[in-house]
Structure 1
């Protein structure tokens, strides 16, 4: 089996976390993590540009094989939700432009995968990251969340050949007359 390098992304307009793990079967290894910060005084377009450029640099520096992005939830502030959605768009399109398969995971699934419960607290996730990736150097809560997304993808991903076989089977079942 060949190791798969996975980029996890925790989308955010102010702070976009990223984390990279390598999965070799059931063995996980820490590669790198960090946060892309934007200046809240800049225009939205400049902040999105910064996210795009910096995330592309992370991909170029670490050459992940696949990417995973945490799904966001709608909050009470429609304007904030819209801005977060735009940052999330960057988190989805930059890896796709680099040719990576991009998966999405709900926050509750990430928490359940890492801690065992879908309503885990941040400190519980951090504690489990120290167990799962003892050599990790987590630099921020956003980077920790991104590593958790990457680990979730390592546990729930479909290998490309299996995904292609499932897609062919679904397409074949839709083509058959009832």
Structure 2
């Protein structure tokens, strides 16, 4: 079940004794909108649990916008208790003001994740596209279609930020699976 954008988040029932359950939270940070996507990965399969975005009116003071973002993430962390988080790394923009505002949003997210005790990895947009579509140069529409196919959801019902966040979570799931296959046992992951 996926939470609609801005709607209440559904409760997650953990299966007693489930050993391979892993909840991965993907985040697509933005200066005004930040997408989130939570997937449940078990034994090589993934299913969408929640997706949406946090938005703040552009006329709010920066501190108030960051509080909305941090509060939304904190609520999600408390409700779902993900095992791991992944963020999309920013691409280098030309507008220095946008880069600063994005850095502030990322800072709010990273502090909230650290307080929640989550391990965080970051992936470039090209890494995310490659993991989901096979091409690091894929268009947004191609990424959205593959996210829908891989998770069995209609991504058109969600903002692009949420679909991108689900793609980040899928990328993280794929990278973690590859590490488990290639790293010798006993080596920290």
| TM superposition score category, shorter chain reference | 0.7 to 0.9
For the residues of structure 2 that align with 1:15 and 1:163, how far apart are their CA atoms?
Answer: 40
For the residues of structure 1 that align with 2:58 and 2:185, how far apart are their CA atoms?
Answer: 40
Task: Specify whether residues 20 and 136 from structure 1 end up closer, same or farther in structure 2 by C-alpha distance, changes over 3 A only.
Answer: farther
Please say which structure displays the higher CA radius of gyration: 1
Gaps of at least 5 residues in structure 1 are 168-178
* Count of residues in correspondence between the two structures: 166
Q: Quick check: 1:126 aligned with 2:144?
A: yes
Q: Quick check: 1:95 aligned with 2:117?
A: no
Bigger CA drift: 142-151 or 129-138?
A: 129-138
Q: Quick check: 1:2 aligned with 2:20?
A: yes
Hey, what does 1:117 align to over in structure 2?
135
| TM value normalised by structure 1 | 0.87
User: Which residue of 15, 18, 40 corresponds with 1:22?
Assistant: 40
Task: Specify whether residues 52 and 162 from structure 1 end up closer, same or farther in structure 2 by C-alpha distance, changes over 3 A only.
Answer: farther
Is the 8 Å Cα contact of residues 24 and 83 (structure 2) preserved in structure 1?
yes
Q: Which runs of 4+ in 1 moved over 4 A?
A: 161-164
Is the 8 Å Cα contact of residues 24 and 82 (structure 2) preserved in structure 1?
yes
Hey, what does 1:146 align to over in structure 2?
165
| TM value normalised by structure 2 | 0.82
Which digits, 9 at most, give the CA deviation of each residue in 1:38-94, with x for residues without a partner? 110101111111111111111112111100000001211011101101111122221
Deviation of 1:147 after TM superposition, in Å, equals 0.2
Is the 8 Å Cα contact of residues 31 and 98 (structure 2) preserved in structure 1?
no
For the residues of structure 2 that align with 1:118 and 1:85, how far apart are their CA atoms?
Answer: 23
For the residues of structure 1 that align with 2:152 and 2:143, how far apart are their CA atoms?
Answer: 13
Deviation of 1:25 after TM superposition, in Å, equals 2.3
Question: Equivalences for 1:22-171 in 2 at 5 Å?
Answer: 22-135=40-153, 138-157=157-176, 158=179, 165=187
- Structure having the higher helix fraction is 1
For the residues of structure 2 that align with 1:151 and 1:8, how far apart are their CA atoms?
Answer: 8
Which digits, 9 at most, give the CA deviation of each residue in 1:124-159, with x for residues without a partner? 011101110114665210000000000000010256
RMSD: 2.0
